[in-house]
Structure 1
Amino acid sequence: IGEPVYLDVLAAYYRADKKATIVGGRYGLGSKDVTPGQIISVYENLKLDAPKNNFTIGIVDDVTFLSLPVLPEVDVAG
């Protein structure tokens, strides 16, 4: 079970008999903006031996505990 694009990617890989770790998640819940720090959290999740699947960013999910850690924000204005 997952979001539509996630399911499409899974189907494409499995039809091509490719082996890859594919994870998906949700963002922008409650019309909240996605920040650079949250995107970095997604990449940090992908570095793990067992990345969290069906994660959320932008909220602290204290029910399913699927939120990725809130990282410090990054100054991208430079």
Structure 2
Amino acid sequence: DDSACWAAGGRCQYTSESCFSYRTGLCAGPANRKCCVSGSDLRCWRIGGICKNNWNSCSGGYIKGLCGGGLSRQCCA
């Protein structure tokens, strides 16, 4: 199940493919299959957050301006 990677705005792929930044543990399959996160979400990931739409629940609270996509896509940290 790759839904955790998709929810984070990423795409599951093999590490032999080019990617700006990989996250582990979000994709099904072998260890060399990881979640490729776009550069526009990297600022959120660096502070330990995850980018998602702000109508979804977020235990820590949302931070604006750290995620790519529309205005409702914010960093849950």
Q: TM-score, normalising length from structure 2?
A: 0.27
- Name the one with the larger strand percent: 2
Larger radius of gyration: 1
The two structures have a TM-score, normalised by structure 1, of 0.27
Higher relative contact order (CA 8 A, sep 6+): 1
